[in-house]
C-alpha cells in the first residue's frame, strides 16, 4: 500500500527587512542602522563590539529574533562601517598609557557611545527597548542601563565585562596579533581577519573558511578604519569600573559568556552577573569570542526569555 507523503513543513513567516538608513544622533555623528520585523513588536537594540559593523549580527540571527516577536534594530557604532568617523589621532604613547593606567585623552567615552544608541531610539520613536550588546557592545549596553534605566527594558550582556581591570582580561597570546599595524589592501585585510578569528573564535564551533572570508569581504566593503578601532579601544581602556553602579540595576538581565573566550576572560561575565541583582548567567562550553550559528536557537530563546521577564516583573 503506498505511503501517504508527510505534509510539508509550513514555511516560516517572511520578515520585513529595511534598507540601511542614517540617523543624526548628534551634530557631529550620524549612525547607520537597519531593522528587521514589525515596529509593532518589542524593540530590540543590538550593539556590536570593537571594530565590528552591524552585519556581524548575522542576517539569520536577526531574522530569528524578529520571528520571536522582536523589532530588531542593528547599527554601526561611530567609527565603524557606514557611520560617522571621528577626527582624533591616537598615538602609541596614548595606548601604552591607557593600557597601564586606564587614563588617556580619548576622543569619546563608552557613555558617548551609549548616547548614540539612545539617540537612535529617539530617532525611531521608542521611549525604551530591550538591549543586547556583545563585547564592547556589552559595555555600552550596561552603560545605557546605568545611565538611562527607564529606557532599558531588559539587558543581555554577551562576552563582556564590568570595567574592573582585574576581570575579563585578554589572553597574552593575543597581544602580538592585536598590536600589529594593519596595512595593505583587501587581501591583506582578509588574511589578518582570518588570523584573528581563528585565534578568538569558538573551538567547539569552527567557522567554515569560506564563510569567514565572505564576512571579511562584506566588512571590508562597508569600510574599515584602523584609526577608528584605536579610538574605540581608548574608550574601552578608559572605561570606569561599573561594578557598584551595576548593583543598583533593577532590570531583567542575562549574561552569556564562553568558557573558551580568549578576548574577554569568562571572569568578566561572571563578575557582571554577580554584580547585577537577579541576573542569569549562561556559561557555554567551547564557545569563544563569537556567535556560533549552532547556538542561534539558544541565543534567541534566552533573549526572549529575558525580555519576557520585563513584562511579568520577575
Taking the C-alpha atoms of residue 282 and residue 163, their distance in angstroms, rounded to an integer, is: 20
Arithmetic mean of pLDDT, 112-125 = 98
Beta strands in the chain (DSSP E): 21-26, 29-36, 42-47, 70-75, 129-134, 152-158, 253-258, 280-284
Q: What is the pLDDT of residue 1?
A: 45
pLDDT tens across 34-71, in order? Answer: 999 999 999 999 999 999 999 999 999 999 999 999 99
pLDDT tens across 288-308, in order? Answer: 999 999 999 999 999 999 999
Q: Are 89 and 227 in contact (CB under 8 A)?
A: yes
Pick from 28, 147, 15, 3: which is nearest to 72 by CA?
Answer: 15
Arithmetic mean of pLDDT, 153-164 = 98
Arithmetic mean of pLDDT, 220-230 = 93
pLDDT tens across 236-253, in order? Answer: 999 999 999 999 999 999
Please give the C-alpha separations between residue 154 and each of 87, 101, 285, in angstroms, as whole numbers. Answer: 34, 33, 25
- At the second CATH level, the architecture of 21-169+227-312 is 3-Layer(aba) Sandwich (3.40)
When pLDDT is cut at 50, 70 and 90, the band that residue 31 belongs to is very high
Under DSSP, the state recorded for 313 is T
Q: Are 156 and 259 in contact (CB under 8 A)?
A: no
- Domain ranges for the chain, please list them: 21-169+227-312
Taking the C-alpha atoms of residue 268 and residue 279, their distance in angstroms, rounded to an integer, is: 14
pLDDT tens across 206-224, in order? Answer: 999 999 999 999 999 999 9
Q: What is the pLDDT of residue 190?
A: 93
Taking the C-alpha atoms of residue 314 and residue 303, their distance in angstroms, rounded to an integer, is: 15
Whether residue 6 is predicted with pLDDT greater than 60 in this model: the reply is: no
Taking the C-alpha atoms of residue 87 and residue 85, their distance in angstroms, rounded to an integer, is: 7
Q: What is the pLDDT of residue 4?
A: 55
Amino acid at each position: 500500500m503506498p505511503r501517504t507523503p508527510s505534509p510539508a513543513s509550513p514555511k516560516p513567516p517572511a520578515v520585513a527587512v529595511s534598507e540601511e538608513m542614517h540617523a543624526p544622533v548628534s551634530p557631529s555623528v550620524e549612525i547607520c542602522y537597519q531593522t528587521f520585523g514589525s515596529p509593532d513588536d518589542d524593540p530590540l537594540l543590538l550593539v556590536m563590539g570593537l571594530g565590528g559593523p552591524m552585519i556581524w549580527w548575522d542576517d539569520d540571527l536577526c531574522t530569528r529574533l524578529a520571528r520571536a516577536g522582536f523589532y530588531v534594530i542593528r547599527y554601526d557604532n561611530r567609527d565603524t562601517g557606514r557611520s560617522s568617523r571621528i577626527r582624533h589621532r591616537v598615538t602609541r604613547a596614548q595606548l601604552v598609557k591607557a593600557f597601564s593606567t586606564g587614563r588617556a585623552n580619548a576622543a569619546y567615552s563608552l557613555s558617548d557611545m551609549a548616547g548614540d544608541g539612545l539617540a537612535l531610539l529617539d530617532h525611531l520613536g521608542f521611549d525604551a527597548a530591550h538591549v543586547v550588546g556583545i563585547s564592547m557592545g556589552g559595555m555600552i549596553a550596561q552603560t545605557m542601563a546605568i545611565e538611562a534605566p527607564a529606557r532599558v527594558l531588559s539587558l543581555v550582556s554577551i562576552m563582556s565585562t564590568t570595567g574592573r581591570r582585574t576581570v575579563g582580561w585578554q589572553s597574552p597570546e593575543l597581544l602580538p596579533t592585536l598590536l600589529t599595524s594593519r596595512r595593505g589592501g583587501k587581501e591583506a585585510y582578509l588574511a589578518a581577519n582570518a588570523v584573528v578569528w581563528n585565534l578568538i573564535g569558538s573551538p567547539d564551533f569552527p567557522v567554515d573558511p569560506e564563510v569567514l572570508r565572505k564576512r571579511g569581504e562584506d566588512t571590508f566593503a562597508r569600510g574599515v578604519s584602523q584609526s577608528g578601532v584605536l579610538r574605540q579601544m581608548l574608550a574601552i581602556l578608559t572605561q570606569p569600573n561599573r561594578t557598584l553602579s551595576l548593583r543598583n540595576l533593577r532590570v531583567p538581565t542575562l549574561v552569556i559568556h564562553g568558557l573558551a573566550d580568549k578576548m574577554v576572560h569568562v571572569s568578566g561575565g561572571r563578575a557582571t552577573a554577580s554584580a547585577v541583582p537577579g541576573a542569569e548567567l549562561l556559561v557555554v562550553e567551547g564557545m569563544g569570542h563569537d556567535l556560533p550559528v549552532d547556538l542561534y536557537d539558544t541565543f534567541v530563546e534566552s533573549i526572549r526569555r529575558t525580555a519576557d521577564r520585563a513584562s511579568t516583573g520577575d
